[in-house]
Amino acid sequence: MTALSPVPRPGGDATAGIDPTSGAGSGSGGSRPPSRHYVARGRLARAVPHLCVIIGVILSIFPFYWLIVMSTSTTAEIFGYPPKLTFGSSFVENVRTVVQSVDLLQALVNTIIVSTSCAVLVMFFDSLAAFAFAKFNFPGKKPLFILLIATMLVPGSLSLVPSFILMSELGWVGTLQALIVPGAANAFGIFLLRQIAAGSVPDELIESARIDGAGFFTTYWRVGVPLLRGGLAFLGIFTFITAWNDYVWPLIVLVDPQRQTLQTSLQNLNSLYLTDYGMVMAGALISVVPLIGVFIIGSRHFIANIAAGAIKG
């Protein structure tokens, strides 16, 4: 008995329409399983993103791990070869040396006062200005906003000399006011909160508040602040960390040793001829730990609102 051949279609091939990968005609009666080559490629495609994430996490965490290792080691162990990647036993001694070398407690209190004050003032003044720019019309609104954005293009180092002269005229050189007042507002925070307010504060709520007889500040406090809470949390944490890590301006303006912040005090650990790097790293670790705690506490708001400025107003 001869096998039946497929009937050719007019103007086409006799095998047209048959999927060569479907397994038809192979005697299997169904589709063939994917080959090992395609399975391996699929697994590799899924593994590559995970591998990239793992490598990124390791590269991000390693500097902190290396900081801890150096803070628990002596200077000889830090510069030993091959490099020592395990924890040492000199952490307590290094911390004791730091406490004996600088007034760590007073510097820590000064830094907390400056960072907290700057964060609170920036959240208040920046949100107030951002709410006005986003939801109210007033003469010169657009030119003022353009001028505000233009100040973000000016390097901060250009304002060091004029700022110092101004602080000197006010008699604030060597005081914490010289750090708090200039940092009470910034263009970045106004721009960020303005973008958030433009997209998250409905105009209907503003009109309802006006109809009820609410003034600007009442509308800001009862309508704007609750809806800007997430952005304010992000800005507060960001400002706190920035003020905590500030080094150049406090080094210039704080001439009183009793008024120094943590970063400028730790700078005194560096000796002219011989530096105990284990002690320096222990001091750096002490300055980093509070920031990690602040970030962990507010990380939910920090991550959730990190891209909030991209909202179109």
Given a cut of 60, whether residue 310 has pLDDT beyond it is no
Q: Whole-angstrom Cα distance, residue 263 to residue 241?
A: 12
Alpha carbons within 13 A on the beta-carbon side of 111:
27
Indicate the pLDDT class of residue 24, thresholds 50, 70 and 90.
Answer: very low
pLDDT given for residue 133 in this prediction: 92
Least trusted range by pLDDT, from 8-22, 142-156, 295-309: 8-22
232, 238, 225: which is closest to 294 by C-alpha?
A: 238
User: Cα–Cα–Cα angle for 274, 276, 277, nearest 5°?
Assistant: 120
300 or 104: which leads in pLDDT? 104
| pLDDT tier at 271, thresholds 50, 70, 90 | low
Percent of the chain with pLDDT over 70: 81
Domain ranges across the chain:
36-92, 100-310
What pLDDT was estimated at residue 269? Answer: 79
pLDDT of residue 188: 92
Indicate the average pLDDT of the chain: 81
Mention the CATH class of domain 100-310. mainly alpha
Average of per-residue pLDDT across 229-241: 88
Q: In this structure, what DSSP letter does residue 246 have?
A: -
Q: 18 pLDDT exceeds 70?
A: no
Q: pLDDT band for position 275 (50/70/90)?
A: confident
DSSP labels for 177-201?
HHHHTTTS--HHHHHHHHHHHHHHS
Cis peptide before 82 (omega within 30 of 0): yes
Residue 23: predicted pLDDT: 46
Residue 172 Cα distances to 32, 114, 275, angstroms? 82, 14, 33
- Candidate ranges 2-11, 103-112, 293-302; pick with highest mean pLDDT: 103-112
Q: What Cα–Cα distance (Å) separates residue 118 from each residue in 9, 26, 176, 211, 238?
A: 82, 76, 11, 35, 11
Tokens of 151: 């100040």
Mean pLDDT across the stretch 235-242?
A: 90
Range scoring the smallest mean pLDDT among 30-44, 96-110, 173-187, 190-204: 30-44
| pLDDT single digits (tens) 240-249 | 999 999 988 9
Between 259 and 126, whose confidence is greater?
126
Is the confidence at residue 89, as pLDDT, over 90? no
Express each pLDDT in 157-207 by its tens digit.
888 899 999 999 998 998 899 999 998 999 999 999 999 888 888 888 888
Query: Given a cut of 90, is residue 125 above it in pLDDT?
Result: yes
Give the confidence band of 122 by pLDDT, cuts at 50, 70, 90.
very high
- Determine the Cα–Cα distance for residues 96 and 308; give it in Å rounded to an integer: 44
Of residues 170, 189, 184, the one with CA closest to residue 253: 170
